[in-house]
Chains A and B, each alone.
Chain A
Amino acid sequence: MTPLLELGLIALGLYLTGELSRRVGVSPVVGYILLGILLGPHGVLPVYRLGPTTELLGELGLLLLLFYLGLEFSLGRLLEGSGPTLVAGAIDLVNFGIGAGVAVVLGYGWLAGLFLGGVVYVSSSGVIARLLSDSELLAYPEAERTLGVLVFEDLAMVVVLVGLGLLTAGGGGRSFVGAVLFLALYGLAARYGKRLLARLLDLEGEALSLLALALLTLVSAGALALGFPAAVAAFLLGMAVAESGHRPRVETALRSWYDVAAASFFLVVGLHVELATVLREAPLALLLAAVTVVAGLVTGFLGGRASGLSRRAAVGHGLMLLPRGEFSLVIASLAADVGALPEGTRQALLGATSLYVVLMVAIGSVVFARFDAVNDLLSRPLMRGAEREPLEAIDPFPLE
């Protein structure tokens, strides 16, 4: 197969899958992974294979996903939500420990536990924002809280990703020094290079796209050479670019690269997953999904109550946070590159996470489609006295 034909089939497959997913009403991310698993080298019809083309697209997709996450990240936004968001976000952190605990109890070890903690912890801001946006739930008090907690999770991701980056820096002492060196260089550049970056990026059109792409790939490649994960470096670069004040223009300049490469990344994740592994790891994926639903609803309720929501809205907060997606996959694919993890564990993590994300997106879609019914069903036993009355009963201005 020529590279041109390969790229064409990838783009066509992603386009058709995306359209189909939207028609069916699930997140396209789910469709892209399934496409990769089913039409991958180990799938039912091997159309796509792993090679230089998919490798480049997948790697670029991962870099762009994290670069855009860094661009969007804003400490100011988190502080805007202030007290209640921080309280709910802190309680939500418990889910990280629960995910890690599952891995340790099942005997995967503490390093795999850190990754699985991340997989279980991070809700999908992309999926949730889209589901919320298409719903009529936006003015519910817990919608505001949920979106605030998603920003909090992004901040926690920074810490987790940088921490994992340091922990997994190739294993040897030399790489650890390299990773620390990269962080030190980044710190210096962020402190003193802000104006230089702002001046460099003061470009239009073609020039801006080219320079932004060059920065992204070269900084990531440099980090990798020093033993620091390229994806985390891309995230840090995104934060620095957002600081420079050029965020909207850089976002626009790389948008079509992002669209193509990010979709390809999910396809490539699917290519790495053997259908047999997914089936073998199905019990783990189901267990993770069950744990996430139970723990998520409990922590969501507690976080909602602690931050001043009513019982019903606190249950709704837990429900809204359920979908998992792109960043659970990113974390699992980072784990797939960690030499310190046994090959079997890496495969299990990636296979289980793929199925887990599909399950959680499906659960999320069902919950959002029948939100009030599910919400009432779960919150009725928790409510007391007047709260139990249906809304009409406390309506001071009943309709004729």
Chain B
Amino acid sequence: MEDPASANGIEVREVTLPGVGKKYVMSLRAGGNLAVVVRPDGERQLHHFLEHADRPRDVVRVDAEEAQQLANLLGRPVVQAPSVEDLDLVLGALEIDWVPLGPASPLAGRALGASQIRRRTGASVIAILREGRALANPDVDTMFEPGDTLLLIGSPAQTHAARALIAG
């Protein structure tokens, strides 16, 4: 399983709870911990522990759909999804598409230029979202890394083809 641990130096401890699910414990910079329990049925539980406490101060239980919505809220400043719809209106036939680049993608570890996305599909990569930052107008030597999200522009057919190429 892919380890979500330790992005930006924030430590996450992953624990298997046999027969029940998984627990991820994140130390908070302000002190204390946030424990996220993931159950097989998709329910997530968020437990907030104050520093040195052995009992959570509060528990939030969300089902799979609520968890998705919560993830959207938490990720919003990074991705800014609504502006896409605005852009769609302005640009008409053009489409802007976000495409995640997973570790299995054939493009992982290759440079933008060498991947020839533009030549093979017609769509252009106008930005790369990486670790919460946007690299706008990346140049041909920029390397793709697993976990990147590519911001593509093109006709619906072109972005569709590019999506297939990136997924591999």
List residues of A whose CB falls within 8 A of some B CB. 72, 77, 80, 125, 129, 132-133, 136, 138-141, 143-144, 147-148, 150-151, 309-310, 312-313, 372, 391, 394-397
B20 touching A139, Cβ below 8 Å: no
Residues from 53 to 67 in B contacting A, C-beta threshold 8 Å = 53-57, 59, 61
B50 touching A394, Cβ below 8 Å: yes
Q: Looking at the complex, which one of B18, B45, B54 makes contact with A136 (CB distance below 8 Å)?
A: B45
B37 touching A147, Cβ below 8 Å: no
A151 touching B18, Cβ below 8 Å: yes
Docked pose: A132 CA to B15 CA in angstroms: 16
Docked pose: A138 CA to B60 CA in angstroms: 12
| Smallest beta-carbon distance B67→chain A, Å | 15
Q: Is B139 an interface residue (CB 8 A)?
A: no
Q: Is B135 an interface residue (CB 8 A)?
A: no
B68: chain A residues within 8 A (beta carbon): none
19 CB contacts below 8 A, A to B, read: A72-B19, A125-B19, A129-B18, A129-B20, A136-B61, A138-B21, A138-B23, A139-B23, A139-B47, A144-B15, A147-B17, A147-B19, A150-B18, A151-B18, A312-B55, A391-B55, A391-B57, A394-B52, A396-B50
A136: chain B residues within 8 A (beta carbon): 45, 47, 59, 61
Q: Is B118 an interface residue (CB 8 A)?
A: no
Docked pose: A71 CA to B57 CA in angstroms: 38
B35: chain A residues within 8 A (beta carbon): 139
A394: chain B residues within 8 A (beta carbon): 50, 52-53
B53: chain A residues within 8 A (beta carbon): 391, 394
B31 touching A396, Cβ below 8 Å: yes
Q: Is B51 an interface residue (CB 8 A)?
A: yes
| Smallest beta-carbon distance B22→chain A, Å | 10
A144: chain B residues within 8 A (beta carbon): 15, 17, 23
Docked pose: A396 CA to B52 CA in angstroms: 11
The verdict on A138 contacting B17 (CB below 8 Å), with A395-B50, A396-B51 known, is yes
Which 5 pairs, one residue from A and one from B, show the smallest C-beta to C-beta distance? A139-B47, A129-B19, A139-B35, A310-B54, A136-B59
Q: Is B39 an interface residue (CB 8 A)?
A: yes
| Smallest beta-carbon distance A255→chain B, Å | 15
List residues of B whose CB falls within 8 A of some A CB. 15-21, 23, 25, 31, 35, 37, 39, 45, 47, 49-57, 59, 61
Docked pose: A148 CA to B19 CA in angstroms: 10
Which residue of chain B lies nearest to A80 when distances are taken between CB atoms in the complex? B16
Which residue of chain B lies nearest to A154 when distances are taken between CB atoms in the complex? B18
B50: chain A residues within 8 A (beta carbon): 391, 394-397
B21: chain A residues within 8 A (beta carbon): 133, 138
Of listed A125, A138, A140, A395, residue having the most chain B CB within 10 A: A138
B56 touching A139, Cβ below 8 Å: yes
| Smallest beta-carbon distance A152→chain B, Å | 11
Q: Looking at the complex, which one of A77, A129, A312, A396 makes contact with B54 (CB distance below 8 Å)?
A: A312
| Smallest beta-carbon distance A377→chain B, Å | 15
A372: chain B residues within 8 A (beta carbon): 55
A312: chain B residues within 8 A (beta carbon): 54-55
Docked pose: A72 CA to B31 CA in angstroms: 37
A143 touching B55, Cβ below 8 Å: no
B18 touching A140, Cβ below 8 Å: no
Docked pose: A361 CA to B19 CA in angstroms: 18
- Besides A139-B35, A143-B17, A394-B53, 14 other CB < 8 A contacts? A72-B18, A80-B16, A133-B21, A138-B17, A138-B47, A139-B45, A139-B59, A147-B19, A150-B19, A151-B18, A310-B54, A312-B55, A391-B50, A394-B50
Q: Looking at the complex, which one of A72, A139, A310 makes contact with B37 (CB distance below 8 Å)?
A: A139
Docked pose: A169 CA to B133 CA in angstroms: 68
A140 touching B54, Cβ below 8 Å: yes
B19 touching A140, Cβ below 8 Å: no
Which residue of chain A lies nearest to B49 when distances are taken between CB atoms in the complex? A139
A147 touching B51, Cβ below 8 Å: no
| Smallest beta-carbon distance A76→chain B, Å | 10
Which residue of chain A lies nearest to B51 when distances are taken between CB atoms in the complex? A396
